[in-house]
Amino acid sequence: MDFSWLGEPATWVGLITLVILEIVLGVDNLVFVAILANKASPKQRDHARIAGLTLAVLIRIVMLALMSFIITLTKPFVHIGGFAISVKDLIMFGGGLFLLYKATTELHERLEGHTAMASITNVAVYASFWSVVLQIVVLDAVFSLDSVITAVAMVQHITVAMMAVIIAMGMMIWASGPLTEFVNRHPTVVMLCLGFLLMIGFSLIAEGLHFEIPKGYLYAAIAFSILIEIFNQISTRNTRRNDMIGRSWRYRTADSVLGMMGLREKELAKNGTPTEDDEHFEENEKSMIRSVLTLAERPIMGVMTPRSDIERLDLSQTREQQHQQLQDTPFSRLVVVGKAGIDEPLGFVNKKDLLNQLLKGEALNIQAALRQPLVLPDSSTVLDAMELFRSRSADIALVVDEFGAVLGLVSMKDLMETIAGDFPEEYERADAPSIQQNADQSVTVDGSLEYAILAQHLHLPTLPEDAEYHTVAGLIMEEMQDIPDVGDTIDYAGYRFEVLSKDGHRLERVRISKIELPEPE
């Protein structure tokens, strides 16, 4: 067998040209393969895509081997009123109808939001593995008819055409993975691709009816649309980057780490559904990771129990009053004060130490059970408090200002709640949970609730670094520039905050509801 043609430059030039042409002609095919593969379950998508394209390679090789038969498909086999019909015309017409049907159904699902609802309710129904593979094979057979005929027309040896097809399809299989991932991550790209497929479907039907549409017009329209989408993606990326410029370096670092772990909210699909990577983490895991990464910038003032809410045991009272206070309080530790009150605390007492005295048959001696709390300056962060608790043996810490006045109290439970969320006591669950979900989709919260916790719950913007408040009550006072009364409201970040109850000047409960925008006429 003579293989001298392998040494001819024209052979290799023809091979390279044909590979490029096959890739260009296969781009539209590849886009729809990315959309079809997404119909399979997440574990089978890659296998379906590779299996479908591999079978498509074999089909193209078989078609090249049967080229003498394929050429006859272009010859008319029937004439109807002077209109010649060939097998190729029928294939093009049927393939165009197939593309129109698939693209229209895909558009319908996305416009109606069925895909998003399936992801939210966790009852998504995926196509079977072989159903997706078969659709990929059928689609490629329709798209490959013209490219196979072109391949034979451009080279003299069928072996060169087969080599070109194998190389081009190998590159398409390699590129299909990143392309599928990109398409799934950008819903606007999916809509654009489905628009392309509608246009290609119409062109195939027109070709089957002998109305020739120059391919240059189609590719020019596709290239222009892709260019506009590129500008759109660049604009979106720059907007996100500019949004991050005003954030603290710690927030930007946390956002980057969350992005690498698939937790960044900005990476969610624009229809509100999580990406495949994002589904690997539960919502409480995301919240804890975000909290850990921002501990060093969360002020202790936002997590402490305010001075007015500190549970106290007053030694200046009678013994009966002290015993009654110990019985009534739901807390296991109380700050012990004298006549000077909370400004000069004597220490704190743990109920279990008093119980030990009684179990030993001793008289109740609060002075003997006194312990000294840790002291934190009001400029401390949650991370500072954790380090202090780690290095010193104590259960609680008092937060003081620069003059030594007590501003609040912090326990290890408070610090743990900044990471893992609330651990409400039984009385808190029944009386006033810090975040209570209402039947009308609103929430009722404590005025002392840390804003950072509420921001995670409702996806509110983070506080600026120079903010002088750290609680929901502080936010309302800052927005009103006054102390609000019961019934007063503010509108903030798309939510309405309404004061429900007060205790003196302290805001106890606040209802937060989503502001419903009026529908455009």
Tens of pLDDT, residues 54-83:
777 787 777 767 655 655 666 777 777 777
Tens of pLDDT, residues 259-298:
655 555 444 434 444 444 444 556 566 667 767 767 777 7
Question: How distant is the alpha carbon of residue 132 from its chain centre?
Answer: 27
Of the candidate ranges 194-203, 339-348, 428-437, 498-507, the one whose mean pLDDT is the lowest? 428-437
pLDDT the model gives residue 269: 39
Q: Which amino acid is at 242?
A: N
Q: What is the mean pLDDT of residues 320-332?
A: 88
Task: Put residue 212 in one of left, alpha, beta given phi > 0 → left and psi -120 to 50 → alpha.
Answer: beta
pLDDT the model gives residue 162: 74
pLDDT the model gives residue 398: 94
pLDDT the model gives residue 336: 94
Q: Exposed, middle or buried by CB within 10 Å (0-12, 13-18, 19+), for 200?
A: buried
* Helix segments in 113-214, DSSP class H: 114-121, 129-154, 158-185, 187-208
Q: What is the mean pLDDT of residues 182-197?
A: 71
Query: Which tops the pLDDT comparison, 169 or 354?
Result: 354
300-410 is classed CATH 3.30.2350.10: no
pLDDT the model gives residue 116: 43
pLDDT the model gives residue 178: 75
Distance of alpha carbon 443 from alpha carbon 496, whole angstroms = 11
Distance of alpha carbon 437 from alpha carbon 422, whole angstroms = 14
Tens of pLDDT, residues 459-473:
788 777 667 788 898
Instruction: State the pLDDT confidence band at 244, using cuts at 50, 70 and 90.
Output: low
Distance of alpha carbon 78 from alpha carbon 72, whole angstroms = 13
Q: What is the mean pLDDT of residues 218-236?
A: 78
Query: Which tops the pLDDT comparison, 336 or 146?
Result: 336
Q: What is the mean pLDDT of residues 324-336?
A: 89
pLDDT the model gives residue 299: 83
pLDDT the model gives residue 275: 46
Please, which residues have CB within 8 angstroms of residue 387's CB and are 6 or more apart in sequence?
A: none
Q: Exposed, middle or buried by CB within 10 Å (0-12, 13-18, 19+), for 518?
A: exposed
Q: What is the mean pLDDT of residues 472-492?
A: 90
Instruction: Kindly list the distances between the CA atom of residue 230 and the CA atoms of 31, 66, 234, in Å, as whole numbers in the listed order.
Output: 16, 41, 6
Tokens 């604009």 belong to 235
Q: Which amino acid is at 363?
A: A
Q: Exposed, middle or buried by CB within 10 Å (0-12, 13-18, 19+), for 141?
A: middle
Instruction: Kindly list the distances between the CA atom of residue 519 and the CA atoms of 60, 111, 215, 339, 496, in Å, as whole numbers in the listed order.
Output: 53, 19, 43, 61, 18
**Terminal-to-terminal C-alpha distance of the chain:** 78
- The first and second tokens of residue 156, run together, are 């003299």
Cα dihedral 180→182→184→186 (10° resolution): -150
Instruction: Kindly list the distances between the CA atom of residue 405 and the CA atoms of 306, 344, 375, 469, 476, in Å, as whole numbers in the listed order.
Output: 12, 8, 11, 19, 25
Is residue 309 scored above 60 in pLDDT? yes
Of the candidate ranges 171-175, 451-455, 491-495, the one whose mean pLDDT is the lowest? 171-175
pLDDT the model gives residue 245: 60
Q: Exposed, middle or buried by CB within 10 Å (0-12, 13-18, 19+), for 223?
A: exposed
User: Which fold, 426-514?
Assistant: 3.30.465
Q: What is the mean pLDDT of residues 171-176?
A: 75
Give the residue extent of every domain in the chain: 8-213, 300-410, 426-514
Query: 304 with 407: CB under 8 angstroms?
Result: yes
Q: Which of 431, 456, 460, 458 is nearest to 446 (CA)?
A: 431
Judged by DSSP in three states, 497 sits in strand
Of the candidate ranges 108-112, 144-148, 261-265, 408-412, the one whose mean pLDDT is the lowest? 261-265
Please, which residues have CB within 8 angstroms of residue 49's CB and are 6 or more apart in sequence?
A: 33, 34, 37, 136, 173, 176, 177, 180
Angle at 149 between CA 143 and CA 167, to 5 degrees: 70
Q: What percent of the chain has pLDDT over 90?
A: 12
